[in-house]
Amino acid sequence: MADDGGKVVINLATGLEDPERVTVAFLVGGAAAEQGKQVAMFLTKEAVRLAVPGVAEAVACDGCPPLSRLFEQYAGNGGELLVCPICANARKLDDSKLVANARLAGATPLWEWIGSEPATVFSY
């Protein structure tokens, strides 16, 4: 995959209580990663649960692709999951048991990841 230097940040604050919103976030993130963009999805609130193995399993709507497939494609193309540590701690998630492309990272690590270059931001 060619890296054209573009960065994409997707802020996802919704978990499986709104699977269509999660699906759209992973569709957008996956498409960006396929295009060679560096992609980080900042998981906050209930979305932090998606970083736990086996949670991203849903079909949002009739005709929607399975979330598990989108999740795998996103990771397979280099997409990262930055998990809000405050949100994860509030939900008593064990950060040692996150999926391989996830790590705890709050606001400061997010800004460090973005760096000084521009980033395209989506929020769901």
Q: What is the pLDDT of residues 7-49, one digit of tens each?
A: 999 999 999 999 999 999 999 999 999 999 999 999 999 999 9
**Strand arrangement, sheet containing 102-104:** 102-104, 80-83, 38-43, 7-12, 119-123
Residues 6 or more apart whose Cβ sits within 8 Å of residue 28: 10, 122
Answer whether 0.85 is exceeded by the pTM: yes
Cα 124–Cα 99–Cα 103 angle in degrees, nearest 5: 70
Neighbours of 81 (CB within 10 A): 27
Closest CA to 13 of 42, 40, 44, 41: 44
Which domains, from first to last, does the chain contain? 7-123 (3.40.1260.10)
In this predicted model, what pLDDT tens digit does every residue of 60-114 receive, in sequence order?
888 999 999 999 999 999 999 999 999 999 999 999 999 999 999 999 999 999 9
